[in-house]
């Protein structure tokens, strides 16, 4: 029987009904870790934008009214995990959320969704980019992919960046924005896929996994959800990155075996029981 007070994470991200990404991934994964997952939707979509057509309902104008009720309830959070934000206005609202709800021990985890494969998403204006850098500066853990890391560091993008010294410099520049630890995710090289960890004291480590298959929607969200869960549970970041990378690799393997289309994400559902067991063993 668990007697320790249950942890609670607020996840600020979009709700995409189909395609296994953002909130629909964070809710089951963070719950499997035994953590209460409280959702703040930034937008509601029928399915994610990787599909040709989708319904999109922006939630920016409703977010403050939504979380003002949480303030009235006196809620506090052990973690605040921020995912996709569509505009600088939305980013500023998230900063206000952090100012209101983050106590001194709250871990803020930001996945600075800005682009992929060297290209920025259409929503990333110069102003939005500046606001995301500000958000990064008040985050404890940041999980950019290589494209996002290069944007944050104002560093020229090169898909082949894999040298530890270059990654160290890149992550160091991001850390100097003022935030905490940096995990540069999904570094592809040959048959490997690696994650580079940069600690606030400059300690660093490259962790490599086999590349389990084609790129799939939502894998970054699966990865960061595990990082967020582990962070509030006090699990060391290196262990957490290994757990997250192994989980994603296994979910990709099953999805490939089942012939699931890449845009439908990963069928992580089969692995939730095992994941929950691994957290039960933690404490």
- Chain residues binding ligand PXL by CB under 6 A are 14, 16, 21-22, 45, 48-50, 84, 217-218, 220-221
CB of 22 to ligand PXL, least distance (A): 4
- Residue number with CB closer to ligand PXL (61 or 277): 61
- Residue number with CB closer to ligand PXL (45 or 182): 45
- Residue number with CB closer to ligand PXL (113 or 177): 113
DSSP code, position 18: E
CB 282 within 8 Å of CB 265: no
- Residue number with CB closer to ligand PXL (80 or 175): 80
CB of 48 to ligand PXL, least distance (A): 3
Tokens of 274: 């095992």
Is residue 37 helix, strand or coil? Answer: strand
CB of 165 to ligand PXL, least distance (A): 30
Alpha helices (H) along the chain: 23-32, 60-72, 88-101, 126-137, 146-153, 164-175, 219-233, 237-257, 272-282
Spatial distance between the Cα atoms of 139 and 143, rounded to a whole number of angstroms: 10
CB of 73 to ligand PXL, least distance (A): 27
Strand pairing partners for 185? 145
Q: Kind of pairing, strands 192-198 and 181-189?
A: antiparallel
CB of 43 to ligand PXL, least distance (A): 7
- Residue number with CB closer to ligand PXL (84 or 97): 84
CB 25 within 8 Å of CB 218: yes
CB of 106 to ligand PXL, least distance (A): 23
Phi and psi at residue 43, in whole multiples of 5°?
Answer: -165, 155
Q: Kind of pairing, strands 204-210 and 192-198?
A: antiparallel
Spatial distance between the Cα atoms of 81 and 138, rounded to a whole number of angstroms: 12
- Residue number with CB closer to ligand PXL (26 or 106): 26
């Amino acid at each position: 029987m668990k007697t320790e007070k249950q942890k609670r994470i607020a996840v600020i991200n979009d709700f995409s009904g189909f395609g296994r990404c953002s909130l629909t991934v964070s809710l089951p994964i963070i719950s499997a870790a035994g953590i209460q997952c409280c959702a703040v939707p930034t937008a509601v979509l029928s399915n994610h934008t990787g599909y040709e057509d989708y319904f999109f309902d922006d939630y920016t104008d409703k977010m403050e009214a939504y979380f003002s009720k949480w303030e009235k309830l006196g809620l506090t959070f052990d973690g605040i995990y921020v995912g996709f934000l569509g505009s600088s206005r939305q980013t500023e609202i998230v900063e206000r959320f952090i100012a209101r709800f983050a106590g001194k021990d709250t871990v803020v985890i930001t996945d600075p969704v800005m682009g992929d494969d060297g290209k920025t998403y259409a929503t990333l204006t110069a102003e939005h980019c500046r606001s995301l850098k500000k958000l990064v500066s008040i985050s404890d853990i940041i999980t950019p992919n290589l494209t996002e890391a290069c944007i944050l560091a104002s560093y020229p993008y090169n898909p082949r960046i894999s040298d530890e010294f270059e990654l160290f410099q890149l992550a160091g520049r991001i850390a100097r924005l003022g935030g905490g630890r940096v995990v540069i995710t999904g570094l592809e090289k040959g048959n490997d896929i690696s994650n580079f960890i940069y600690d606030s004291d400059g300690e660093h480590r490259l962790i490599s996994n086999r590349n389990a298959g084609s790129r799939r929607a939502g894998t970054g969200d699966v990865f960061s959800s595990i990082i967020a869960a582990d962070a509030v549970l006090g699990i060391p970041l290196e262990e957490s990155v290994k757990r997250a990378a192994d989980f994603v690799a296994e979910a990709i393997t099953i999805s490939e075996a089942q012939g699931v289309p890449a845009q439908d994400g990963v069928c992580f559902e089969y692995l939730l029981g095992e994941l929950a067991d691994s957290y039960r063993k933690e404490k």
